Structure 1
Amino acid sequence: MHDAAPLPQRLDTPVVVVTGAARGIGQAIATRLHRDGYRLVLADVDVARLHATRDALSPAHAAVRADVTEAADLDALAETAVQQFGRLDVWINNAGLIPSGLLTEQNGTDLSRAWHTNLGGTVHGCRAALHHMLPARRGQVINIASLCAVKPLAGLALYSATKAAVVTLSEGLRREIRGSGVHITCLLPYMVTTDASHTLRPRLVPALRPDDVARAVTGAIRRPRPRIYTPPLLGWALTAASRLPHGVRDAVDDVIRMDELALRPDQTGRRRFRRCRTAPKQHGGGPGN
């Protein structure tokens, strides 16, 4: 990652908060937004990698240690953006966890942490951002969900549930604040190749790259929309398929071996990840950030 251009110093340059910014999708979003000239407030629980990401872009950006499961941390994050840069234009709720495998075989503590990170963190982030955006009558909140919200997967039951909840939250908030000048966008990406998705096996189409999601985010900022599927055609196809009878859907899934995505992990990927992993996996998007 290299410094693409000098950071603009104009006071009217938009300010963007990105959670889960130390790696994966969050890091890709930060990199692309930096190149596009935004001022950034980057947040993560992995302080070392967070500062490395910020420093590789520009020390003029802010890097803030924040745990998205703590409402006070995100309130303070929003205050940092306003105090340091004088404004808050876009908030991207990206941080998340991907618990995978049979629900009955997963650790209860890990499941609770994923639930509070994926959904609670999005709730806290929306609330913190809207406290500043609504009085200003401008701004945008972008919530990173997943196509698992419309196509729940075996082995990703809890993850799918949290992302479906993020979609529902986004739609409810959109209706709450209609006419306020603030936009709510929910982005639903397909599987993304990151550390967090190291054991998942893509079906139907190849996994996305983090920059594919980052490109969708910048497009959403330029033209705010309530819901964006990435890739669009797959999103609309899965949404249409969700209306088919359960028996038909199960038969199709069996033919394409959909359950192998999360229930039969890629052991090669697992070994490779264990060799290179140096910090807790935190993502945003899905499955695989």
Structure 2
Amino acid sequence: MDLQQHSETMKTFLITGAAHGLGRALAQHLHNEQHQLILIDKDLKALNALYDELDTAGWNNVYLFPMDLAGSAQAEFEQLQQGLTSFASLDGVFLNAGILPALTPIEHFDPLQWYEVLQTNLNANFHLIQTCLPKLQAVNQPNNPANQAWLVAISDQAISQPQAYYGAYAVAKAGLEQLVKMTAKENDRIQGIIARLPPLAGHFRSKLFPGEPPCQNETVESAAERIILSCSKQAQHADIEVL
């Protein structure tokens, strides 16, 4: 990852799960606002395709960091931390990457899959937050809450309304919410945001419910716009909690 110095004319945001779905929509929206992006995903081919799409303007403000959070080791987070030294600060981190296995009762949940989901959806986010904290804390001037960095957990409405069979996914998302809330409580320079989103149209949802008409669910583009407007306090939405 060939990182360059943070530009004074734009903000810098890091997005996980950036190659597809909501992560891709967040990247497109923030890029349209001429912000600088650090994009993390395990799908290098899709990441490169997104880079080619975003870099057509020649702004050189998109940086890629391929990483599979399910199998990530401490060394990879250390590499990311080293790359982040080229930036003065991070204005926001979107913890979007996640996996949702088939709906399964606890009685029959495969232990190895349980560990994989917790690693991807919770443990990796702990390491990401630790890695990014110094740059998130650097974004703000003391006693100026308007300049707080964003720490955004992409969660699910199924967490606020517990449902059967969501297994490790629900447990990990509930843990992620608490992780972001604690981090925000411990750091007054960080604004925590919890987005408990409804089902979104896209591959993630269609894989789980293949017979469901996509048109009945909100688009990822709409959800991305709502999240960003809520983070910047230009709008309020019942399913997006600004802490």
Aligned to 1:30: 27
Moved over 6 A (4+): none
Aligned to 1:273: none
Aligned to 1:120: 123
Residue 150 of structure 1, aligned match among 154, 160, 163? 160
Report the TM-score when normalising by structure 2. 0.79
Q: Please report how far the alpha carbon of residue 146 of structure 1 lies from its aligned counterpart in structure 2 after TM superposition.
A: 1.0
Structure 1 residues 228 and 125, CA, compared in 2 at 3 Å: closer, same or farther?
Answer: farther
Q: What is the alpha-carbon root mean square deviation over aligned residues?
A: 2.8
Unaligned runs of 5+ in 1: 1-8, 236-289
Residue 15 of structure 1, aligned match among 9, 12, 16? 12
Aligned to 2:3: none
Q: Deviations over 1:174-202 (max 9, x none)?
A: 2212xx32212111101112212222277
Residue 133 of structure 2, aligned match among 105, 121, 130? 130
Structure 1 residues 135 and 73, CA, compared in 2 at 3 Å: closer, same or farther?
Answer: same
Is the CA contact (8 Å cut-off) linking 2:81 and 2:131 kept in structure 1?
yes
Is the CA contact (8 Å cut-off) linking 1:148 and 1:163 kept in structure 2?
no
Structure 1 residues 136 and 39, CA, compared in 2 at 3 Å: closer, same or farther?
Answer: closer
Q: Please report how far the alpha carbon of residue 67 of structure 1 lies from its aligned counterpart in structure 2 after TM superposition.
A: 2.8
Aligned-residue sequence identity (percent) comes to 19
Q: Please report how far the alpha carbon of residue 110 of structure 1 lies from its aligned counterpart in structure 2 after TM superposition.
A: 2.2
Is the CA contact (8 Å cut-off) linking 2:89 and 2:138 kept in structure 1?
no
Q: Deviations over 1:5-38 (max 9, x none)?
A: xxxx953310111011111111111111111111
Distance 2:115 2:234 in 1: 32
Distance 2:43 2:92 in 1: 22
1:270-281 equivalence runs, <5 A? none
Distance 1:57 1:136 in 2: 25
1:217-236 equivalence runs, <5 A? 217-223=227-233, 229-230=238-239
| Bigger Cα displacement from structure 2, 121-130 vs 70-79 | 70-79
Q: Please report how far the alpha carbon of residue 115 of structure 1 lies from its aligned counterpart in structure 2 after TM superposition.
A: 1.0
Q: Please report how far the alpha carbon of residue 107 of structure 1 lies from its aligned counterpart in structure 2 after TM superposition.
A: 3.2
Distance 1:173 1:87 in 2: 17
Q: Deviations over 1:90-145 (max 9, x none)?
A: 11111000012223444332221111111112212221121222245452211111
Q: Which amino acid aligns with 2:231?
A: I
Q: Please report how far the alpha carbon of residue 77 of structure 1 lies from its aligned counterpart in structure 2 after TM superposition.
A: 2.8
How many residues align? The count is 219
Aligned to 2:41: 44
SS state at 2:152 partner: strand
Q: Which amino acid aligns with 2:10?
A: T
Q: Please report how far the alpha carbon of residue 41 of structure 1 lies from its aligned counterpart in structure 2 after TM superposition.
A: 0.7
1:66-215 equivalence runs, <5 A? 66-69=67-70, 70=72, 71-83=74-86, 85-103=87-105, 104-137=107-140, 138-177=148-187, 180-197=188-205, 198-200=207-209, 206-215=216-225
Aligned to 2:65: 64
Distance 1:52 1:33 in 2: 17
SS state at 2:216 partner: coil
Structure 1 residues 98 and 224, CA, compared in 2 at 3 Å: closer, same or farther?
Answer: farther
Q: Which amino acid aligns with 2:32?
A: R
Is the CA contact (8 Å cut-off) linking 1:42 and 1:64 kept in structure 2?
yes
Is the CA contact (8 Å cut-off) linking 2:91 and 2:139 kept in structure 1?
no
Q: Which amino acid aligns with 1:220?
A: S
Report the TM-score when normalising by structure 1. 0.67
Q: Which amino acid aligns with 2:66?
A: R
Q: Deviations over 1:58-88 (max 9, x none)?
A: 17210111233534434433442441x4432
SS state at 1:184 partner: strand
- Bigger radius of gyration among the two: 1
